[in-house]
Structure 1
Amino acid sequence: MRHKGQWTLIEGPFSPVKSANSAEISVFCPDFYEQESHPLWWGTAQNTLSTQELRSLLENYLTANPRPEGPLSKAQWSEPAESDFQKDLEVIQGKIAKNEIQKAVPVIFARASQTVTAAERAQLILNLLSAPETLYVFGFWQKSQGILGATPETLFSYEHGLLQTMALAGTCPKSDKAERQSLLLDEKEMQEHHLVVEDLSQRLKLWGDVQSQGPMILELPTLYHLKTDFQVKCNERPDFRQLVMELHPTPALGVAPRAAGYEWMKALPGQEGRRGYGAPFAFFGAEEALCLVAIRNLQWSSNESMIGSGCGIVAASEFSREWRELFQKRLSVRKILGLNV
C-alpha cells in the first residue's frame, strides 16, 4: 500500500484473524458480494519504505530474476462483449422505469488466459511507483491468486477521531473533453453523483455530525471525476470491520437506493469471476484505518487475468457513451501498469 508518500509492505505467510483494531496491521480484502465470511489477514512482518527504497528493492530483484518476455506482457486481451453490456443496460433501465431503483453500477471485464509471474508482479509494482499521488496503489496476493492496482477512491479513512470518505461518481474521459460540457454542468453525471452524496450524507450520521465539501472535479491521468469529500468527528472510535459493512457498497459501485439491495446484480452478464473488483480493500491498525474501493486494477488466478470497469447507469444513460467510458477506464489501468495497449 502507498499512503502519504510511504509504502507499507506486509510479508506472508498470512494467518486469518477475527478482530480488527489491534496493534498489528490487518488486511481485509473480501469479495464484492460477500464480506461476512472473509477473514482479516495478519502477515509475519511489516516494513515501511520510501519510494526510492522500494525502487531499489524491485530493481535488485529483477536483476537477479530477469523477467522473461512473457505471457502477460504479450497477452491477447479478449474485450467484453457489447451484447453483455447491452443486456446489463436494459435490465437496469427496466428497473429504473418501474421505479424500483434510481441507479446501478454494472461491471464488465477484459480477460487474458495468462496469469502473473513473480517477476512480472515486481515489474508491475515498479511501473506503479510513478502513479500520481491522487491514486492509492494497493495489492495483495496469496498462492496463485491476487490483485494489484491504483484506485482513486476510498470507502473511508479514520485517524485521530476523524472519519473521512468521498462520493466519487460521474466520469468524463479526457479524450471526450472537447465534445462534452463540464461535468459540473452535465445533468446526467450530476444526477449520478448526487445519488451517492445523498446516500453518504444519511449513512454517515450514524457516527456524528457530517461535513461535506464539493462537488469538485478530480483530474486523473486519463479521466475526470466528480468528487465530494465528507468528514465526521466521531463520538467514539468505530469498529473498522463493522464500518466496512455499513458503508459498502455506496451507490458509486452498488445501487441507489440501498434498500433495493445489490445481490440481484450477480446475475448480470459479463461479470463472471468478479471476486474483489469494487470490493472494500482495507488496512486496519489499532487506532487508524484506510479502506479503499478496489477499482482500476488487475486481478489474476492460476489461469486467467482480468481488468474490469464499471459505470453508473441512470435513466438518461446512453449505450455508446457508457461503452466508451468503460473502455477508457480499462485503458487507464493498462497504461498505469505498463501493459500492452
Structure 2
Amino acid sequence: MISDWAFLGWSDGRILLGRGPFEACASAPGEGVAFYRNDFGLGVAEPWLVPASVEWLTHAEAAEAFPPSTPEVDWGELEATHFAEVFQEVSGAIRRGTFEKTVPVVVEEGRLLSGAINGLAGVAMGGESPLVAYGMRKGDAGFVGQSPEYLLRVHGRDLRTMALAGTARAEERDVLAVDEKEIREHEFVAQALVSKLGDLGELERGARGIMALGPIVHFHTPITVTLDREEEIDSLIKRLHPTPALGPLPRTAETMAALLGWRRRLGAPAEFGAPFGAVVDGDFQGIVSIRGLWWEGDRVSLPAGCGVIEPSRLVNEWRELRLKRSAVKARFGFVESAL
C-alpha cells in the first residue's frame, strides 16, 4: 500500500516532506510541523494535518524518493460551451456592478492509462524558483503542482505576500508591460492586498515587475509587512484568501457564493486556488494551489482560471486558459512545448 504524503518547497531550497497517517487539527500547533490543506471556500473544520514523520529533502534526495515520471493520460476534448455561458453571466454581473473582477475556472479532464501517479510528485519536486513544489496524496486521490504564487510567508513579525496577475506569452512580454487591461487587472489585486494588510503594521509595496515562467509571463508585485504584533496564521489566511487574483472583487458573502457556484458548475477541484502550506515551529509558508494536476482513481483534472474584468473578451480569456493549461502539461512532461 502506498503511504499518504504531503510536500512543500521551502524558501531555503529544500523540500519539506511529511508522511502519513496525518492527525487533523482545527488550529496550528505551537511547535513542530503541520501541513495546511483547505478548500477554496475555507470550509474545512480541521485544515491542519500533523504528519507521522517528517523529512527535509534536497532536490537530489527528492528525485531518489520520488523518481520523476509522467504517466500516460488520455486527455479529453474541452468544449467552450459551458465556460462561455458562465463568462456571459460573469460579464453581466460586472455590468450590473456586483463585481469589479472575478475568476471563473475551466477543467480539462483525462483518464490515467498507465504509469505511477507518484511520478508526478517527483516531477513537481524538480521545479526551480520562483516555482514552489507542492502536493498531497491521501489514498487514491490527491494533487501536485508547481505554484508561482505564494499567499503568505510569516516569520515572527515579518510577513511577505505578493500580487500575481496579468498574463501573456513570453514573446509578448513588451506588450504586456503596456497592456492597460492586464495592468488594471493586476492593480485590482495589488491594491486589495495593500488594503487588507495596511492596518497590521508597516507595509511596503515593491515595484511592479514581470515574472518569467518559461512560455508565459505575469505581472508581479512583492508586498511586505512588519507586523505590529504576532498574528494567528489562521486569521491571516482568512484575511487574505482569496485575493482578487483567484477570487471576487469585492469579496462579500454574495460574490463568494456566486463564484463558488460557477466553480462547481465548471467542475473545479475543491482545492484549486485554495491555500496550501505548512508551519514549522511557528514559521508558516503557504502557496496558492495553481498550476497543478488533481486526480481521483484514474481520473485526472487540469484546472485553470482567468481574471475577468469589464474589458475582458471571451476569445482572449479562452486563449489565456489554454496557455496556462499547456504550460502545466509541458512542465509535467505531457507535451514537448507549451505553445
- For normalisation by structure 1, the TM-score amounts to 0.90
Q: Deviations over 1:213-259 (max 9, x none)?
A: 12111111121100111000011211111211111101000011123
What does 1:139-178 correspond to in 2, within 5 Å? Answer: 139-174=135-170, 177=172
3-state DSSP class of the match of 2:208? strand
> What's 2:296 paired with?
301
> What's 2:37 paired with?
29
> What's 1:2 paired with?
9
Aligned partner (choices 238, 249, 253) of residue 242 of structure 2: 249
Structure 1: tracts of 5 or more residues without a match: none
Does residue 324 (structure 1) correspond to residue 319 (structure 2)? The answer is yes
Q: Percent of aligned pairs with the same residue? A: 27
3-state DSSP class of the match of 1:81? coil
Letter in 2 for 1:236: R
> What's 2:127 paired with?
131
Aligned partners of 1:168 and 1:267: how far apart in 2? 24
Letter in 2 for 1:262: M
- For normalisation by structure 2, the TM-score amounts to 0.90
> What's 1:225 paired with?
218
Aligned partners of 2:266 and 2:203: how far apart in 1? 35
> What's 1:190 paired with?
183
Aligned length: 326
- CA distance change for structure 1 residues 221 and 279 in 2, over 3 Å: closer, same or farther? same
Letter in 1 for 2:255: G
What does 1:202-281 correspond to in 2, within 5 Å? Answer: 202-259=195-252, 261-268=255-262, 271-281=266-276
Q: Deviations over 1:280-335 (max 9, x none)?
A: 10212332101110000000112411001001001111111111110111111111
> What's 1:291 paired with?
286
Q: Deviations over 1:78-123 (max 9, x none)?
A: 2432111211211111011111111110001000133896x331x2
For the Cα contact (< 8 Å) 2:72–2:114, is it kept in 1? no
For the Cα contact (< 8 Å) 2:25–2:46, is it kept in 1? no
Structure having the higher strand fraction is: 2
Letter in 2 for 1:315: E
- CA distance change for structure 1 residues 253 and 16 in 2, over 3 Å: closer, same or farther? same
Letter in 1 for 2:37: C
3-state DSSP class of the match of 1:251? coil
> What's 1:199 paired with?
192
Aligned partners of 2:106 and 2:51: how far apart in 1? 32
Letter in 2 for 1:99: G
Aligned partners of 2:44 and 2:207: how far apart in 1? 33
For the Cα contact (< 8 Å) 1:282–1:291, is it kept in 2? yes
User: Displacement, 1:50?
Assistant: 1.1
